[in-house]
Structure 1
């Protein structure tokens, strides 16, 4: 039986009827203009709670003029340039690391506190998207098979391969992504409706450089014998609002479990599709049996067990390793340019390089300080714990 390693919400997007106050909008305008001039995201603070965030030179589709990013352990906020509180001027997307470290109830409280700290007026909310993920340690030899996917007869499922076939109009085959000869993911459905995806999460965590997942799973990243697969249920605006009339936080808390359980019944992964004369009676694969069991529990209480400080430390260590790799690479290139031989490199190259670097820092203090300030702004959320951590 697959072993559940983690379960929790992986995406939560909410829009709010309301607006920021004029002084905060002015700060955002100035920061966006400065970001366009310098080609660097600007670190600013807004509202009476002095909330820190990065502002890029661009906005977002849907009429959102400003992006305000509170870091990998926070949220991405978007705002329209309007003070009209009758409009839906505010939207938020909670980061995956934030969702991993907190339960849904904690996330809701953090969002509401952010709105207060930013000095915004929020009259009502509307859930735009909610994804729930389950990571399973699969037995040795498990391979994904598209022929074992059963989609409900009313489901519209498009086919997508590693080499796109623009002429394909098939509706009853799952979308797939191959790596070499092994199938790495299957996607059923289309957003902003209902979507289910099964994929190799271990590889995804490595490729997307999100090492905190290995801490969540309590698995050594170098241990290639541990195979982690994710089953993710995605519910977009059409699924939530049009089908289930689910809009507010209260609606979400009352009904989101039913949304995912119903999806798991209509989209299934079975043992062997070819062996079943009646697909409706096909035996679910052990993976899908584990999915059904966990969806019946209280989804709102799921969390990884890691605290924000642990995730922040993992990200900080990863960033430190990246910089050391860059330093070593540059040092190797400098050694080649200088024409140093192996004996000279092995003797005291590191020591001489350190002295030269210190000398350059002292002689070009203003240039180093400028670089240091840019790095501090860029890495603010990596090195500075949030007040609520």
Structure 2
């Protein structure tokens, strides 16, 4: 019998965003490498500039970022890695020359303590003399994922507590997103202060193609002795996320949070105050909305927001996420290749009954181009490996693609693709034959 999900259950809690700046400046040697990498990306020929320094590899974007950052780098392949920002080492008065923005999935995997260790290891490898306590935390997001298939959020059920500093939740501070009469997101507050967000995480995961969250959730459920969610069944797998985003002004002005130590000491009070000042409630006949009782959803989250959250981390196997992402990217590329091949066939007037022959001939032409330009081929292959974070060639047993009369061997042990076109005459003649 299919599992019937509970009315409301906290699946997990964890960090979903972290921005931090350092009073550090990169060396001229490292800046020269980044200028070269940026120039490669600026050429706009499909290549991405890379920087390697003491074992740290980063992709360098063609443009910098606001705030005077000349270099915008990526230390991994999304959704892993961090976004790093570096200023030129030109001796200006602004000492804050390094900033990093952490992605959600690594934070979910590693928690705060391991993330901090990884960032500081990267700083050391980049030969930046970081002194603990000099950092400046500019943003922290904490997420609570709740299995609540029956929840139907209503903006009017959010109220300010009678004793809070928030006297009224005005429409200027609220953003509501929905479709087909169903609310999917309610955001209260604005950057650079604080935001409290309630949104349908299941819908967002499906819309933005982030299937790895199902693995994270199911891992957390398994640890609690509960069965996995079925993504196909919205009635039993709708996950709502409550996210509290503390931005720079809120952290600095209201809580004096700058360092890791400040954050550790104040995070739980920050979360509890946010949940107390902005409450999701159950309406009653009382005309004073501030006296409406708190919704069970909010009570569940408030209880989870108490205590140390530094070591929160998912135990899901990283290799399973890598395999999932590889399969998804491979499927996407396969569809792109199929679409482009059909477009080229249409352009060349290929009849539908000869599409398979044309596709094999097209592949044969591509292989000849690779063989005629080995340096270009090797360079582009290296670029693609860097883009997808693949360090070594994947080898395997040869696999035949095609029917009994048309065969193409792929995955050969020597790493090359070898066509065997039994009807090559058909591919080399006619108006649709590749040149």
Shorter-chain TM-score range: 0.7 to 0.9
Could you tell me which of 76, 83, 86 is aligned with 1:76? 83
- Distance of 1:246 and 1:12 partners within structure 2: 13
Q: What TM-score results when the alignment is normalised by the length of structure 1?
A: 0.85
Q: 1:237: how far off?
A: 0.6
Could you tell me which of 44, 51, 69 is aligned with 2:56? 51
Q: 2:266 matched to 1:259?
A: no
Structure 1 segment 245-284 matched on structure 2, within 5 A: 245-272=256-283, 275-284=285-294
3-state DSSP class of the match of 1:377? helix
- Distance of 1:190 and 1:157 partners within structure 2: 15
Q: Is the 8 A contact 1:184 1:199 kept in 2?
A: yes
What are structure 2's unaligned runs of at least 5 residues? 1-6, 219-228, 393-435
Q: Which has the higher contact order (CA 8 A, sep 6+)?
A: 1
Q: Is the 8 A contact 1:156 1:189 kept in 2?
A: no
**Structure 1 residues 378 and 53, CA, compared in 2 at 3 Å: closer, same or farther?**
farther
3-state DSSP class of the match of 1:121? coil
Q: 1:230: how far off?
A: 0.8
1:307-343 Cα deviation digits (max 9, x unpaired): 43332222211101101222333344455554434xx
Q: Which residue does 1:317 correspond to in 2?
A: 327
Q: Which residue does 1:107 correspond to in 2?
A: 115
**Structure 1 residues 372 and 283, CA, compared in 2 at 3 Å: closer, same or farther?**
farther
Q: Is the 8 A contact 1:15 1:128 kept in 2?
A: yes
Could you tell me which of 18, 27, 38 is aligned with 1:21? 27
- Distance of 2:367 and 2:391 partners within structure 1: 28
**Structure 1 residues 24 and 293, CA, compared in 2 at 3 Å: closer, same or farther?**
same
Q: 1:296: how far off?
A: 1.4
Q: How many residues align?
A: 367
- Distance of 1:245 and 1:58 partners within structure 2: 33
Q: Which residue does 2:200 correspond to in 1?
A: 200
Q: Which residue does 2:15 correspond to in 1?
A: 9
- Distance of 2:43 and 2:13 partners within structure 1: 43
Q: Is the 8 A contact 1:316 1:383 kept in 2?
A: no
Q: Which residue does 2:304 correspond to in 1?
A: 294
Q: Which residue does 2:3 correspond to in 1?
A: none
- Distance of 1:4 and 1:243 partners within structure 2: 29
3-state DSSP class of the match of 1:20? coil
Structure 1 segment 181-220 matched on structure 2, within 5 A: 181-218=181-218, 219-220=229-230
Q: Which residue does 1:167 correspond to in 2?
A: none
- Distance of 1:290 and 1:297 partners within structure 2: 14
**Structure 1 residues 5 and 158, CA, compared in 2 at 3 Å: closer, same or farther?**
same
Could you tell me which of 126, 139, 155 is aligned with 2:149? 139
**Structure 1 residues 364 and 246, CA, compared in 2 at 3 Å: closer, same or farther?**
closer
User: Highest Rg: 1 or 2?
Assistant: 2
- Distance of 1:242 and 1:371 partners within structure 2: 54
- The more displaced of 224-233 and 275-284 is 275-284
Q: Is the 8 A contact 1:12 1:94 kept in 2?
A: yes
Q: 1:281: how far off?
A: 3.3
Could you tell me which of 336, 342, 345 is aligned with 1:326? 336
Q: 1:253: how far off?
A: 1.2
Q: Which residue does 1:165 correspond to in 2?
A: none
Q: Is the 8 A contact 1:177 1:184 kept in 2?
A: yes
**Structure 1 residues 363 and 146, CA, compared in 2 at 3 Å: closer, same or farther?**
closer
Q: Is the 8 A contact 1:41 1:54 kept in 2?
A: no
**Structure 1 residues 211 and 247, CA, compared in 2 at 3 Å: closer, same or farther?**
same
1:174-207 Cα deviation digits (max 9, x unpaired): 3211223111111111111111010111111122
- Distance of 1:139 and 1:286 partners within structure 2: 14
Q: 2:77 matched to 1:66?
A: no
**Structure 1 residues 224 and 324, CA, compared in 2 at 3 Å: closer, same or farther?**
farther
- The more displaced of 70-79 and 222-231 is 222-231
**Structure 1 residues 276 and 382, CA, compared in 2 at 3 Å: closer, same or farther?**
farther
Q: 2:136 matched to 1:126?
A: yes
Output the aligned Cα RMSD: 2.7
Q: What TM-score results when the alignment is normalised by the length of structure 2?
A: 0.77
- Distance of 1:229 and 1:373 partners within structure 2: 45
Q: 1:356: how far off?
A: 4.1
Q: Is the 8 A contact 1:7 1:132 kept in 2?
A: yes
